[in-house]
C-alpha cells in the first residue's frame, strides 16, 4: 500500500515523521505520525500506540505531551493516528465537537451514514499496525495508551485483542461510555439504538462480561472538569475489584484534563510500557 512521507523533523537524535495514505477500511486519506528513536536507525524497535481524545488530530500529542524525549531514551517508537476519518466526503456534524470528524470513538460503525468511513477500531488494531510494521523498523511488540476518548480506545483495544498488546495504560479515560453523554451520543449514532450492542466497546462492560485479564494502569486527575459526568473511573474500579481484574488507578491530586496533566506523567507511562516490551 503506498505511503506518502509528508514531514520529517529531527528530535532528540531521532525523527518525528508524518505520513498520509489511502485507508482501505475508512475509504479516505488518513494522516498519522511516527516518532522513530535513535535506536531505530540500526535495529527494529517496539512501538507504543497513542490514541488521542475528542477534537484532536495526530498533532496534539506530538506537540504538547513531551513524549519524544522519553521515547528516545527508552528506544520506543511512537505511533500516533488521527482520531477519525476526515475529508469532504466523510460524514460530519460541524456544530458538534463530540460526533463526527474528530470524534471517531475507536469503534466500527454499523449505521448509515457513518459505516462507510468510521471503521476506526479495525483501522487502529489492524490496518495501521500492518502498514507501519511493513514499512518502518518496528518489531511486532506493541503497547497502547491514550487520553480521554483515546484512553477509552486504548482500554477496549487491549481488552478485545488478547495478546496483541503487551501493556495498556490511559490518562483520564472514558471508562464507561454507555453511562455518559459523550458515549451515548456517539454509540447511538454509530452503532444504533440497541444498547446491548454498545457493550462491545465499553471497557467496564467488557471486564464485567469476562474479558481476559491484562494489567491496567490509569492516571486520573482529581480536578478534571469532565470527571463527574463523563469519565466514570469508579465504575471501572468497582467492576475490576469484583472480578479481581488487575487495575492500578492513580488519583493525581489537583490535575485537570489537559495536556499539562499528560505531560506530567507521560514519562512514567512510557517507562511502564518499556518494561513490558523488553
Which residue in 224, 232, 269, 273 is the catalytic one? Answer: 224
d(CA 93, CA 55): 12
pLDDT (average), residues 209-236: 97
Angle at 147 between CA 158 and CA 20, to 5 degrees: 85
d(CA 55, CA 5): 24
Q: Are 155 and 174 in contact (CB under 8 A)?
A: no
pLDDT at 188: 98
pLDDT at 2: 85
d(CA 245, CA 241): 6
Dihedral (Cα; 270, 138, 20, 29), 10-degree rounding: -90
Q: What are the DSSP calls for 128-145, one per residue?
A: HHHHHHHHSSEEEEEEEE
Residue 231 clears pLDDT 90, i.e. is over it: yes
Q: Is 23 a catalytic residue?
A: no
**Distances 93 to 100, 235, 260 between C-alpha atoms, Å:** 6, 30, 29
Q: Is 224 a catalytic residue?
A: yes
Percent share of the chain, pLDDT over 90: 99
Buried b (16+ CB within 10 A) or exposed e, 49-80: bbbbbbebbbebbbeebebbebbbbbbbbbbb
pLDDT at 1: 66
Q: Are 258 and 264 in contact (CB under 8 A)?
A: no
Q: Is 257 a catalytic residue?
A: yes
Which residue in 147, 152, 232, 257 is the catalytic one? Answer: 257
Residue 65 clears pLDDT 80, i.e. is over it: yes
Q: What average pLDDT is seen over the chain? A: 97
Report helix angle 67-74 to 259-277, nearest 10: 10
pLDDT (average), residues 220-231: 98
Omega of the bond prior to 113 within 30 degrees of 0, cis?
A: yes
Residues β-bridged to residue 173: none
pLDDT (average), residues 93-100: 96
Q: Are 54 and 116 in contact (CB under 8 A)?
A: no
User: Max CA-CA distance within the chain?
Assistant: 51
pLDDT tens-digit profile of 152-174?
999 999 999 999 999 999 999 99
pTM of the model: 0.98
Q: Are 245 and 213 in contact (CB under 8 A)?
A: yes
pLDDT at 110: 98
Residues β-bridged to residue 31: 20
pLDDT (average), residues 211-237: 98
Residue 103 clears pLDDT 80, i.e. is over it: yes
Going through 52-196 in order, the beta strands assigned E by DSSP cover 77-81, 138-146, 167-171
Which residue in 33, 52, 84, 148 is the catalytic one? Answer: 148
Structural domains present in the chain: 3-277 (3.40.50.1820)
pLDDT (average), residues 90-108: 97
pLDDT tens-digit profile of 257-270?
999 999 999 999 99
Amino acid at each position: 500500500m503506498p505511503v506518502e512521507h509528508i514531514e520529517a523533523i529531527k528530535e532528540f537524535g531521532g525523527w518525528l515523521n508524518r505520513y498520509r495514505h489511502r485507508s482501505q477500511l475508512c475509504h479516505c486519506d488518513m494522516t498519522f505520525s511516527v516518532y522513530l528513536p535513535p535506536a531505530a536507525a540500526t535495529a527494529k524497535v517496539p512501538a507504543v500506540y497513542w490514541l488521542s481524545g475528542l477534537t484532536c488530530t495526530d498533532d496534539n500529542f506530538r506537540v504538547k505531551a513531551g513524549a519524544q524525549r522519553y521515547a528516545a531514551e527508552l528506544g520506543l517508537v511512537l505511533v500516533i493516528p488521527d482520531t477519525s476519518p476526515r475529508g469532504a466526503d466523510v460524514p460530519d456534524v460541524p456544530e458538534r465537537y463530540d460526533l463526527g470528524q474528530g470524534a471517531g470513538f475507536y469503534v466500527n460503525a454499523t449505521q448509515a451514514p457513518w459505516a462507510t468511513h468510521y471503521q476506526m477500531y479495525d483501522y487502529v488494531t489492524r490496518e495501521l499496525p500492518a502498514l507501519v510494521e511493513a514499512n518502518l523498523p518496528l518489531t511486532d511488540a506493541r503497547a497502547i495508551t491514550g487520553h480521554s476518548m483515546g484512553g477509552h480506545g486504548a482500554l477496549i483495544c487491549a481488552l478485545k485483542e488478547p495478546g496483541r498488546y503487551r501493556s495498556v495504560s490511559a490518562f483520564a479515560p472514558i471508562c464507561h461510555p454507555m453511562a455518559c453523554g459523550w458515549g451515548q451520543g456517539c454509540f447511538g449514532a454509530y452503532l444504533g439504538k440497541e444498547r446491548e450492542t454498545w457493550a462491545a466497546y465499553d471497557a467496564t462492560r467488557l471486564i464485567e462480561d469476562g474479558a481476559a485479564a491484562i494489567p491496567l494502569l490509569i492516571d486520573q486527575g482529581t480536578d478534571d472538569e469532565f470527571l463527574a459526568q463523563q469519565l466514570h473511573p469508579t465504575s471501572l474500579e468497582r467492576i475490576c475489584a469484583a472480578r479481581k481484574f488487575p487495575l492500578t488507578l492513580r488519583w493525581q491530586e489537583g490535575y485537570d484534563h489537559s495536556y499539562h496533566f499528560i505531560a506530567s506523567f507521560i514519562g512514567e507511562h512510557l517507562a511502564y510500557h518499556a518494561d513490558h516490551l523488553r
